[in-house]
Amino acid sequence: MSRNYSEIAKAISEPIGLTKHLVAVKFFDDLSKVPEGLPRPESKIYYCGAVGKVMSEGKTLLLLAEDHGCDRGAYMLGVKEPPETVVNGEMYAKSHMVETPRAGKRLIDQAPKIPVGKTAAILLTPLEEATFDPDVVLVSANPHQSLVILNATNYKNGLEIPLRFFLRLCNSIAIQVW
């Protein structure tokens, strides 16, 4: 790690008044590469819930396959195989995300996914405490703060930033940007 992420977090957060911790995300493809002694959730947790917990509480969390409480999210993140009800769209229809299983299947088929087996663990930590180079940094911002951050990302080159959002937060806040 060659960057001072504490200073970077401060430089991003303070000028625009961000009130929650920026979250550094690291995807590990091999458990042997995961640092030892990292805290894991006390019970199963959705990925989006884990992100919210780190943002709000400022505590580090390591998620292994058995820690994921959402089969859809774990599948999208490349952590484990999905149940058939996710692949065929039934789960999306039953949870009222879409009208029919067919629409649910379309939803899952078009969503970006990390190949199953590619992710062995996911580390979430406040950016100011990161001792690693994150794959993704997540920010909780209001519309004006979001505009400032988006403008900063294209400040040097002036290129348009293509944005695409999904019904599943794990897609929008991790996979798509990585």
| Element housing 27 (H / E) | strand 23-28
Task: Look up tokens 């100011």; give the residue.
Answer: 128
> Is pLDDT above 80 for 1?
no
Write the pLDDT tens digit of every residue in 131-168.
Answer: 999 999 999 999 999 999 988 888 888 888 777 666 66
Give strand pairing partners of 23. 126, 138
The mean pLDDT value of the chain amounts to: 91
Write the pLDDT tens digit of every residue in 70-97.
Answer: 988 999 999 999 999 999 999 999 999 8
* Angstrom distance (rounded) from CA 87 to CA 83: 7
